[in-house]
Amino acid sequence: MVLSCQDIGKSFGDITILSHISFHIEDYEKAAIVGINGAGKTTLLKVIVGEYPADEGLVTFGKGTSWGYLAQHGALNTDYTIYEELLSVKQDLIDLEHKMRTAEAQMKHAQGAALEELMESYSRLTHQFETRGGYIYKSELVGVLKGLGFDNEDFDKPVNTLSGGQKTRVALGKLLLQKPDLIILDEPTNHLDLNSIAWLENYLLNYKGAVLIVSHDRYFLDRVVSKVIEIDQTKSNVFSGNYSQYARKKEQLRVAYMNAYLNQQREIKHQQEVIEKLRSFNREKSIKRAESREKLLDKIEVLDKPTEVRADMKLTLEPAIVSGNDVLQIENMSKSFGSLHLFSGLNLDIKRSEHVAIIGDNGTGKTTLLKILNGLEQADTGTFKLGTNVEIGYYDQEQQLLHPEKTLFEEISDTYPDMSNTKIRNTLAAFLFTGDEVFKQIKDLSGGEKGRLSLAKLMLSNANFIILDEPTNHLDIASKEILEDALNSYTGTVLYVSHDRYFINRTATRIIELCGKEFFNYMGNYDYYLEKKITPAEELVITDTAPTESKLDWKAQKEEQALRRKRENDLKKCEDMIADLEEKLSAIDAKMQLPEIACNSAELGKLTKEQTALQEKLDEQMELWETLA
């Protein structure tokens, strides 16, 4: 056991954040803490590491356990270069190496007993150096830096000149190189691109220690953790398995608890009605029976009504008019900023109802492309064309389309001047803005609140082509799932940029990777992309240098996708047929066991004939199922 939390409680003033939080982390275990925004996840981490004192309970680390903590905004600010900052973690090895070199120099001039003593000392030093990884620490350091997205030319940059996200990555690198028995991470993927996140996943999976993570990245949690600690309404629940397994178990428990609550409420209401009826008879015996029932009713431990997470946040997206089949066509587009060349020769066609995700490393130009499509930037070369009746709705990750000095109410009413005050308030309430909150200025909102306001504006737009830039940033898991469900039921066209692989996997029907200044096309979701991703030389490149080959390959991929859907549908029909035939055969078996049938040879013969025919059909379907499966 590396960590134990027993009955942890924490309040701020009259507001209870945590109560009776209990769990433990074993050696080498990888665990996640999940919950909606404001549930107390970061507060719990700060209690564990001693930044906040617990009001109640006990935090215990295993004897001799070392731990390291990376806060959500764990930025550094030093005069060291990036390489020097990480090298400082290995100061003990640097000191050992210095002693070894000193001993080597002294041995050149020593003789006799002094030489033997130096050789013994040197042998001890080299053994320590080797066992602590002295011969690999520099390559390990470079591997961590490159894994976290730093290039060789970045190594000499002073830390105090970096952006906040880059500083956090340096802090993460330092923590990983320290190799404590327990790593505690708060939103470690926030400032990483997809390649760096994949690298971190593999690093943590193979880490010879325990890990405790707070993260909204569900794909990351699915890959890394085997235990989920949920904070819900100040209390904790522990689930074994990864995030998806937790979500399924949570839903099963929610349904079971809701059913138990509704059944108890029905029983309470029934008993109250019986008691009232008995009292209405106004007889001694009936009154006593009523009192007896009342005593039993008072002893019932009444279940609390289950609260639906974000049940009051409503997001419905539906286009006002249907667009033409051709929604967007980009031809030979390029964009640079000075000497920074983002992309060139881009060609892309998007059809109605497609849900297209653009992925790629940070700095490749994904957001810039979306800004060009929305008139916020100008392309250097090339053109884009919108199809017939296409109306764009744009969600900007930087929220530049919101006006900081306006209130929430003014932001909606100025954009939609014909909308009634009641509808404006109802719309804002659907996104959890109620009462006087609607008169807060936008500049005073958190990132998550601005995101919800932008989604509210998007819902009102009735656009048939939605363009989204990192729509899940600042959203908690429950809000992400609401957005996913809304997009999946949306009949219009969607183009978005996202680093959220779980979100992409649930909502994308096609993936465009922006890599090496070019587009690479995949006709499926994120799992399909991972399955089909090949070397850049072999990938389908959407550029005008090979338009014919591009269109042919794209058509082939679409045909393959259609064929795969047909096979899946055929398999489902086959499975339904098998279930139906097995049910009919079971019914015949049961019928043949009946005494009145068993003695009736004519009826038995008829049933046997029917049974044989059904069994033949079942055999045929089983053979077909094997082929399809």
468, part of any domain: yes
Is the same domain home to 504 and 387?
A: yes
Percentage of the chain beyond pLDDT 90 is: 51
Q: Quick one: which H or E segment has residue 386?
A: strand 381-386
Q: Decide: helix, strand or coil at residue 593.
A: coil
Assess whether 343 and 434 both reside in one domain.
yes
The reply to whether 333 and 429 lie within a common domain is yes
Residues in the chain: 629
pLDDT of 628 > 70? The answer is no
User: pLDDT tens digits for 379-401?
Assistant: 999 999 999 999 999 988 767 77
Residue 283 pLDDT: 74
Which CATH number goes with the domain that contains 150? 3.40.50.300
Across 35-89, the runs of DSSP E, i.e. the strands, are 56-61, 67-70
Q: Examine the domain organization and report whether 519 and 572 are in the same domain.
A: no
Q: What pLDDT is attached to residue 318?
A: 86
**Lowest mean pLDDT across 142-151, 170-179, 243-252, 525-534:** 525-534
Among the candidates 529, 562, 595, a domain finishes at 562
What angle, rounded to 10 degrees, do the helices at 137-147 and 164-178 form?
A: 140
Asked if residue 610 and residue 515 are part of one domain, the reply reads no
- Which of 518, 544, 562 is the endpoint of a domain? 562
595 and 573, same structural domain?
Answer: yes
Dist. CA 287–CA 277, nearest whole Å: 10
Share of the chain above pLDDT 70, in %: 92
Shared domain for 288 and 408, answered yes or no, is no
Number of compact structural domains in the chain: 4
CA dihedral 528, 534, 538, 543 (to 10 degrees): 60
Distance CA 21, CA 35 (A): 13
- 28 in any annotated domain: no
Burial of 618 from C-beta contacts in 10 A (0-12 / 13-18 / 19+): middle
Nearest to 392 by CA among 319, 489, 490: 319
Cα 417 from Cα 530, distance rounded (Å): 46
Whether the pLDDT of residue 309 is over 60: the answer is: no
Domain identity same for 288 and 255: yes
pLDDT of the residue at 541: 45
pLDDT digits (tens, 9 = 90+) for 581-608: 878 887 887 887 787 777 777 787 888 8
Q: 291 and 413 share a domain? A: no
Assign 623 a pLDDT band (cuts: 50, 70, 90): low
- Mean pLDDT over 19-47 rounds to 94
Whether 314 is in a domain gets the answer no
Query: The domain containing residue 450 runs over which residues?
Result: 326-562
C-beta of residue 618 within 8 angstroms of C-beta of residue 580: no
Asked whether residue 11 is domain-assigned, the answer is no
Q: How confident is the model at residue 82 (pLDDT cuts 50, 70, 90)?
A: very high
Q: Are residues 546 and 612 in the same domain?
A: no
Query: Looking at the domain assignment, is residue 489 inside a domain?
Result: yes
pLDDT confidence of 212, banded at 50, 70, 90?
very high
| pLDDT tens per residue across span 474-532 | 777 877 888 898 899 999 999 999 989 999 999 999 999 988 888 889 999 999 998 88
Give, to the nearest 10 degrees, the angle between helix 447-461 and helix 421-430: 130
DSSP state of 442: G
Query: Which one-letter amino acid corresponds to residue 73?
Result: H
Confidence of residue 59 (pLDDT cuts 50, 70, 90): very high
104 and 85 together in one domain = yes
Angle 365-368-370 from CA coordinates, rounded to 5°:
115
pLDDT given for residue 535 in this prediction: 43
Examine residue 21 and state whether it is found in any structural domain, yes or no: no
Nearby residues of 34 by Cβ (< 8 Å), 6 or more positions away: 41, 214, 221, 228, 229, 230, 231, 243, 246, 477
Task: Report yes or no on 533 lying in a domain.
Answer: yes
Query: What is the residue-wise DSSP string for 395-418?
Result: E-TT-TTS-TTSBHHHHHHHHSTT
| 539 belongs to a structural domain | yes
**Residue after which a domain boundary falls, among 223, 245, 267:** 245
In sequence order, what DSSP letters do the residues of 465-492 get, joined into one string? Answer: EEEEESTTTT--HHHHHHHHHHHHT--S
**φ, ψ for residue 274, nearest 5 deg:** -65, -45
Whether residue 556 sits in one domain with residue 609: no
Which is nearest to 222 in space by CA: 207, 199, 205? 205
And the tokens for 216?
């909204």
Query: Which residues have C-beta within 8 Å of that of residue 28, sequence separation ≥ 6?
Result: 208, 209, 210
Band (pLDDT 50/70/90 cuts) for residue 445 is confident
Burial class (CB in 10 A: 0-12, 13-18, 19+), 579: exposed
DSSP 545-560: TSHHHHHHHHHHHHHH
Q: Looking at residue 289, what is its pLDDT?
A: 82
First to last CA, the chain: 44
